[in-house]
Amino acid sequence: MTFTGHILDGRVVLDAPAPLPDGTAVTVAPAANGAAAPAPIINPQTGLPYPSYIPRETAERMRRQDSGESSEEERMPFLERYKNVIGVLDDPTLPTDRALNHDHYLYGTPKKPT
């Protein structure tokens, strides 16, 4: 079993939670290529890194929001930010049962009665 992580302030920080009980003995070795991983993006509210499975761009946006540095667009209310796409699916040529029969339209499964 192998886990990935990085060194933060002299401690090993795993990129994702590991199913190991406290006190488990481990061996730590640098990555084979010896290249340093990019520095983790730290959550200003908790002091812990955002998980590595979150894309760096998303983690950086989350950090800006958590620290109050987000842009005006990022602070916009959800409905205001996406008002240009709200109602786009109100097209009379589209099927009206798309949520009920989405598997039919995507994969060709039998249609459910409406």
Query: Are residues 42 and 89 located together in one domain of the fold?
Result: no
Tell me the pTM.
0.38
Query: Are residues 83 and 62 located together in one domain of the fold?
Result: no
Structural domain including 109 reads 77-114
The distance of Cα 109 from the centroid of its chain, to the nearest Å, equals 31
Sequence-distant (6+) residues with CB within 8 A of 98 are 89, 105
Query: Are residues 29 and 19 located together in one domain of the fold?
Result: yes
Query: Are residues 55 and 4 located together in one domain of the fold?
Result: yes
Strand-pairing partners, residue 8, are 11
Query: Are residues 24 and 52 located together in one domain of the fold?
Result: yes
Query: Are residues 84 and 43 located together in one domain of the fold?
Result: no
Count of domains observed in the chain: 2
Q: How far apart are CA 80 and CA 48, in angstroms?
A: 32
pLDDT digit string, tens, across residues 12-65: 888 778 888 888 888 877 777 766 667 788 888 888 888 878 888 888 888 888
Q: How far apart are CA 66 and CA 14, in angstroms?
A: 22
Query: Are residues 30 and 56 located together in one domain of the fold?
Result: yes
